[in-house]
Structure 1
Amino acid sequence: GYTNASLEGMRKTVQAWTAWRNYGLQTGDFKEAYKFISKNFTDEQKTYDFDTRLYKKGGWIVGGDVHGYEFHGEPINHGGGKYKWKFFMAWPHLIYIEADGEHYKEVVNKDYENNWYMMTLHHDGNRWLIDSVEFLDMKGEKNEE
């Protein structure tokens, strides 16, 4: 399983997290996705909280189900139980729609090729936890997601 302190356990954790994160984007329910992130990964927690509030107010997100995560190469051991793993996130756009259906914010992926990220994670003795996900600026531009 994904609790094993092995590379296979890490892979299964990452696969489960991406599935539960996409589920949360579609439903506003990030309860399962929360289980895969460390308490220090506050940016991700803020994203979950924002999206959850949108759904609770009657709003919704279009495009949340089309986030594809393509992990490349093997995870790199950085010592002290920390690993980094590079991945490409494929996504065309997201539309955040308020409950009234009239007010919305669209976030468009303007440069599809510039979507590389680095995930940092560790095993806490019981399970793998994701500590951070950082945008890898390949072209000197800011990512809007």
Structure 2
Amino acid sequence: WTCRYMNFKHPPEAKLGIFGYYHGISATACDMARLGWLWLNGGRWGETQVIAEDWLRQITKTAPDVKEHCPEEEWKYGHGFWTNDHGKLWPDLARDAFAARGAGGQHIGVFSGLSLVVVMSPCEESDALLPRIIEACTG
């Protein structure tokens, strides 16, 4: 996998205290599934706590600056993750769901209540596929 970092020099008011810069990771579907599994398990890989569980919990909830500065319908972004803690991302799904959704079409969805990680790489059916997977798991 590869990692990229770019500074778009956003004006200070555009940053909202989140991170304000472009970060990107290109990874295989297996690598993305491993990341999703790590997140699903509260940052633990086997017996090792790789990511602090409390920090992971914080970054997968709507960011305080988003809640302070954005209308409620936009309360679906945390610190680097898309979040469903207010039901704005996926209204019909559990509030513990969150996702890493890349501009390049790479997506990792974590659905803790279902013990499910969904990984999608770019394809024409990406937007229609996730609801069908969730329906199959919950229906």
Which band: TM-score by shorter chain? Answer: under 0.3
Q: Which has the higher helix share?
A: 2
Bigger RCO of structures 1 and 2 (CA < 8 A, at least 6 apart): 1
- TM-score, structure 1 length as denominator? 0.27
